[in-house]
Amino acid sequence: MENKNLEIYKKAMDDIHYSDSEKENMVNNLLNGKKNGGPMKKKYDFRKIGVAVAACLTLFSVTAFAAGKATGIVSDIYFGGKSSNFEDLGQLEEEAGIDVATVGLFTNGYSVEEMEVDQSSTTDDEGNKLSTYKGIRIDYVRDGSPELYLSMFPEALYGEDHEEYDSARATETREYDGITVHYNYDEYLSLPEDEEPTDSEREREETDDHFFISIGSDTRQTDYVSGVNFEIDGVSYVLIGFNLDMSPDELFEMAKEIILAR
């Protein structure tokens, strides 16, 4: 086990150009964070800092959120359950301590590539860990399309006002079987360390709930993140993808399929 863990650490340290799946956890936190008076996102390059490396380097300091004295989430190094067989979901649920609803194959052709139990901890302003929780992430693939990432975690992590915030921020909202689904289309501007945002970009970040700036990339680059989020029986669901050629209707339909799978 020690040799296996060492190899994982080495790989994590070497992979400074990360895939979308490794960026997904951090963007989830941005999607669930707030600005303009609410919890604030911190500056980091979401393109480069993957979950494993961030934990190794203790750099994973992400968006604040409302949950008692907690003001942030850090991703822990956790060697837990992982499977590409959808029938193993029950085992991952038992390990994570949450019951989830989802599907192995969506009607639009997206199917499970990998499922994994993740562990994270809440922190205070000084970075002290307050509590630990587990969630489940599922990567979905479809030939010729970008990957999609579904994260499921305890809803209780967020404050009592998060539903009101989600509704106010959402690009579009729909309801299925009594469950409210929020859709967002967000723009992420990544800048090198030596490049400052323009005045107009700074102003836009302060006033636009769908525009985010991260610092530390190799070049100036813009990504677009499409996603839906909702809650079922005390579990939060976030389904997102990067630079998708997909309409809001298709993402809403996928959310509906998850909801009806209860």
More confident residue, 84 or 224: 84
**Residue 194 confidence (pLDDT) above 80:** yes
More confident residue, 238 or 172: 172
Q: What is the rounded CA–CA span in Å between residue 235 and residue 188? A: 26
Do the beta carbons of residue 5 and residue 79 sit within 8 Å? yes
pLDDT band at 93 (very low <50, low <70, confident <90, very high): very high
**Residue 55 confidence (pLDDT) above 90:** no
Q: What is the rounded CA–CA span in Å between residue 238 and residue 176? A: 16
Average pLDDT over residues 90-96: 95
- Nearest alpha carbon to residue 74 among 83, 87, 61: 61
Q: What's the burial of 140, exposed, middle or buried (CB within 10 Å: 0-12/13-18/19+)?
A: buried
- What pLDDT does 29 receive? 46
- What pLDDT does 82 receive? 93
**What mean pLDDT value characterizes the chain?**
74
Report pLDDT digits (tens) over 9-53.
444 444 434 444 444 444 544 444 444 433 333 444 544 433 322
**Residue 203 confidence (pLDDT) above 90:** yes
- Nearest alpha carbon to residue 204 among 220, 187, 216: 187
Report domain extents, the chain: 2-260
Query: Could you tell me the two tokens for 206?
Result: 């302060």
**Residue 242 confidence (pLDDT) above 60:** yes
Average pLDDT over residues 161-170: 69
Query: Could you tell me the two tokens for 169?
Result: 């921020």
Q: What phi, psi does 254 have (nearest 5°)? A: -65, -40
**Residue 65 confidence (pLDDT) above 80:** no
All residues at 6 or more sequence positions from 52 whose CB lies less than 8 Å from its CB, including other chains: 8, 9, 11, 12, 15, 22, 77
